[in-house]
Structure 1
């Protein structure tokens, strides 16, 4: 829960039906005690995975008008800022100017920047947003890019442990991002082999059990301490954890994860667990709750009538668009049903982020 009265300004997409963007983020934040002010960067009927949708994008001028009116009315009062899907460079630049103004007025503002650009090698926003995101990185307290977005931001192809070191170094040192969290990373063999043995999945023959990896990297200030120990400011503190892969297509998972991470991040508190950090503690909670919601969503989907859980088939989906729509509809995140999980009730196992000892030393 929020430790004190706090207010989040959420700037991201909106859908009428389903749970992606703000619909996946605002309710969990409210469940955890935060007041949330919502600005929609798009207003769509549903997410694009359905194959067809309707609605409009919010223009840069419309965003500026909203921000200016809020400022005139003294309604820009966030203690935390969350930004997600913003489809174009002009709109993103308007958000960047607002974020800069808010950080200047309140340096303690916690800003979680989710640089939503694409996934699995495919970019789904205008490419001209990439340089704008690079300009925004120094404003962020935490960023939550996926694997592909890290490559876009750093111009580093992640294909071995050395390239991962280089990418994190660029984000921390060149762009001065103090906290980087990369979730839902496909666990390639080279990455699995480099992990601490305590979290490495079981290996069968030449392959590991299907898992996704989450990495959290914090770069401490020169005066930072952890459990009474002065931290060396020349290398990041890295934590990692694996979660079993749940098969099937889900939307809004990253939006939910980022909201939960922002909600649980309390930089001024001392972690109860040895070798934990404020970031790793927040990621542990976000990872555990997100996975629990996905398990519940999968159970709900598997209990649906057969016509609502037919497997993907591009040809059949083109012939009968409702076939795909029924499948997507049945896999929307079970947020309302899982609201107790969001509040922490019924979470029987917290997936603690484990200190990745030797990560920096292996460079």
Structure 2
């Protein structure tokens, strides 16, 4: 009988239809050999991008009741912890308290904290949630914020080399996070100019690019890796949830099997996550492009407001093709490996 890779406790949102939050994370983790215990922080009909959605949000008391009974039954013994979207400050504090208890019980716990705060300059959560996340950062083994979440957590607006270094320094030194993955950062001119030549995308490309930056600190020394990858057109939900799950699944400091020369455990995990996530998005985009015309109409806020089903059909057609892409997740289907490369001189140039 094949031996499992361990047990993961996943605490994040749930939807009845589609693939965001835990629905985007749990199945990939199971495909990769992990047993996953699931605590839902919300139980919605579908993700909020549909416009119409509904369902209950778990309160701090309800979460604590689940945690307490699991502990009494000796069921709260994960090897790894994954936390994502949590509604409200009190519920976020309850999850943080559990993470602290698990860390005290098991100092070797691998905790990936995905600080779901917002994107594209807009907070998804109440402002009082932000300091709770900052207090939780020292508990984490890995964090996977997007560029906006990095700016919110560090209070550093990233606009040049100095501010990018300051943001990463703040996460490593002030908040004592050993492994940081900036999951996506738009490739604006300042970042393009900053990147070493071997990390820049083709200059002839008219496609927008994002960068993924991974930084691991050990004994005061930080190793930085990066990779640029092309944006796919259209709106996708659940991408960060899938990416974070894949980073956690592939991260293993004790086992370097499969790692190429120059890779660290974090850069390897991030490379696997970028590669598989991008392949799933490509599969999803291809499937959505083949749908009937009325299910792939372009975004038009005025028309969408007047005809809600117009937007709903579009969102429905762009749900992640996780089931169809399970061979991608398992690694049995060949895909383009987007390896994060060393960024030599990051801290000095």
TM range (shorter): over 0.9
Separation in structure 1 between the aligned mates of residue 125 and residue 12 of structure 2, nearest angstrom? 13
Which residues in structure 2 correspond to 1:322-333 (within 5 Å)? 322-333=309-320
* Alignment partner, residue 227 of structure 1: none
Answer whether contact 1:281 1:352 (CA < 8 A) is retained.
yes
Secondary structure of the equivalent of 1:112?
A: strand
Secondary structure of the equivalent of 2:338?
A: coil
**1:3–1:141 distance in 2 versus 1, CA, 3 Å:** farther
Answer whether contact 1:50 1:325 (CA < 8 A) is retained.
yes
Separation in structure 2 between the aligned mates of residue 217 and residue 3 of structure 1, nearest angstrom? 31
* Alignment partner, residue 360 of structure 1: 347
* Alignment partner, residue 188 of structure 2: 188
Secondary structure of the equivalent of 2:236?
A: coil
Separation in structure 1 between the aligned mates of residue 346 and residue 234 of structure 2, nearest angstrom? 32
* Alignment partner, residue 31 of structure 2: 31
Separation in structure 2 between the aligned mates of residue 244 and residue 4 of structure 1, nearest angstrom? 34
* Alignment partner, residue 12 of structure 1: 12
Answer whether contact 1:7 1:36 (CA < 8 A) is retained.
yes
1:348 Cα deviation (Å)? 3.1
1:77 Cα deviation (Å)? 1.3
Separation in structure 2 between the aligned mates of residue 261 and residue 113 of structure 1, nearest angstrom? 11
Which residues in structure 2 correspond to 1:117-196 (within 5 Å)? 117-196=117-196
Answer whether contact 1:201 1:208 (CA < 8 A) is retained.
no
Answer whether contact 1:239 1:354 (CA < 8 A) is retained.
yes
In the alignment, which of 199, 211, 214 is matched to residue 213 of structure 1?
A: 211
Separation in structure 2 between the aligned mates of residue 250 and residue 184 of structure 1, nearest angstrom? 14
Answer whether contact 1:112 1:141 (CA < 8 A) is retained.
yes
* Alignment partner, residue 113 of structure 1: 113
1:208 Cα deviation (Å)? 6.3
1:184 Cα deviation (Å)? 2.0
Count of matched residue pairs:
347
Separation in structure 1 between the aligned mates of residue 267 and residue 202 of structure 2, nearest angstrom? 24
Runs (5+) with no aligned partner, structure 1:
223-232
Separation in structure 1 between the aligned mates of residue 174 and residue 71 of structure 2, nearest angstrom? 32
More deviation, 263-272/93-102: 263-272
TM-score where L is the length of structure 2: 0.97
Separation in structure 2 between the aligned mates of residue 91 and residue 298 of structure 1, nearest angstrom? 35
Separation in structure 2 between the aligned mates of residue 4 and residue 23 of structure 1, nearest angstrom? 21
Which digits, 9 at most, give the CA deviation of each residue in 1:19-55, with x for residues without a partner?
Answer: 0000000000000000000000001000000001010
More deviation, 192-201/267-276: 267-276
Separation in structure 1 between the aligned mates of residue 323 and residue 144 of structure 2, nearest angstrom? 24
**1:3–1:111 distance in 2 versus 1, CA, 3 Å:** farther
Answer whether contact 1:13 1:40 (CA < 8 A) is retained.
yes
* Alignment partner, residue 71 of structure 1: 71
Runs (5+) with no aligned partner, structure 2:
none
Secondary structure of the equivalent of 2:278?
A: helix
1:124 Cα deviation (Å)? 1.0
Answer whether contact 2:58 2:87 (CA < 8 A) is retained.
no
Which digits, 9 at most, give the CA deviation of each residue in 1:50-90, with x for residues without a partner?
Answer: 00101010000000000000000000010000000012110
In the alignment, which of 247, 258, 262 is matched to residue 261 of structure 1?
A: 247
